[in-house]
């Protein structure tokens, strides 16, 4: 049994993963999202309470138009992985990929997932060129000190090389470590009978629909005001 996002139903013992589910998300993105939502809530509430004429209605219409996209782009993006599947929550859709359907993962200027003959962006794992340069410098220092980790210091993701969970590698950027870990999980579980199936994509209508309705309402109010 699974829920609407394809996650195991806690009430089904057979669906419980053998290993703890891994969760990846951008902490800076979540923090910035919470701050933006807090500021927006304060400004919109103030306009609704103290505004005159159509101002309160305009402020109310602005709430979903601004706040829901902020929520979608900062707090919602998440990557979840267990022994059965990879679940990627992007701003406006959720991609459920059984491990047997994963064709590849790549960390270039962004993290990309290849599955079912298509390419999907992975918003929850942003690529930082600054972090990658820092990791490259650390790798160079490790090489100079004859550190064994220097043999794994390439900033390009290699499916045959990975970093064990819980052991951050300073010679690799966070995004590259996450991709390597996911590739390792995919290789380990691709032959699992429970990890087979098609790629399922679901749109996040609870964000898309209210945002569209709010935008239409906002435009209507602005036109009526003029």
- What does pLDDT average to in each consecutive run of 10 residues of the chain (226 residues)? 52 49 93 97 94 90 96 97 94 96 92 95 89 71 63 41 50 86 93 92 96 94 82
**Cα 77 from Cα 41, distance rounded (Å):** 21
Q: Do 187 and 132 lie in a common domain?
A: yes
Q: What Å distances lie between residue 202 and 49, 87, 96, 135, CA to CA?
A: 38, 11, 8, 36
Query: Does some domain include residue 82?
Result: no
What is the predicted pLDDT for the residue at 205?
Answer: 96
What is the predicted pLDDT for the residue at 15?
Answer: 46
Q: Which two tokens stand for residue 47?
A: 């306009």
Query: Does some domain include residue 94?
Result: no
Residue 220 belongs to what domain range? 18-76+204-226
Please tell me the chain's helix, strand, coil percentages from 3-state DSSP, rounded to the nearest 5: 50, 15, 35
Q: Do 173 and 107 lie in a common domain?
A: yes
What is the predicted pLDDT for the residue at 133?
Answer: 76
Q: Do 110 and 181 lie in a common domain?
A: yes
Q: Do 106 and 174 lie in a common domain?
A: yes
Q: Do 25 and 108 lie in a common domain?
A: no
């Amino acid at each position: 049994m699974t829920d609407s996002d394809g996650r195991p139903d806690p009430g089904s013992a057979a669906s419980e993963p053998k290993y703890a589910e891994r969760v990846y998300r951008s902490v800076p993105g979540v923090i910035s999202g919470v701050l933006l939502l807090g500021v927006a809530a304060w400004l919109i509430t103030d306009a609704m309470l103290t505004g005159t004429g159509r101002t309160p209605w305009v402020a109310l219409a602005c709430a979903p138009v601004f706040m829901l996209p902020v929520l979608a782009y900062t707090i919602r993006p998440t990557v979840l992985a267990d022994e059965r599947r990879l679940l990627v929550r992007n701003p406006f859709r959720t991609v459920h990929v059984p491990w047997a359907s994963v064709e590849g993962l790549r960390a270039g200027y962004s993290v990309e997932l290849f599955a079912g003959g298509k390419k999907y962006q992975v918003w929850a794992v942003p690529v930082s060129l600054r972090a990658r340069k820092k990791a490259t410098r650390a790798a160079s220092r490790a090489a100079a000190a004859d550190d064994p980790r220097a043999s794994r210091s390439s900033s390009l993701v290699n499916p045959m090389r990975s970093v064990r969970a819980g052991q951050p590698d300073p010679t690799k950027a966070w995004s590259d470590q996450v991709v390597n870990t996911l590739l390792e999980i995919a290789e380990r579980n691709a032959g699992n009978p429970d990890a087979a199936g098609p790629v399922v994509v679901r749109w996040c209508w609870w964000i898309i629909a209210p945002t569209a309705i709010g935008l239409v309402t906002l435009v209507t109010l602005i036109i009526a005001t003029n």
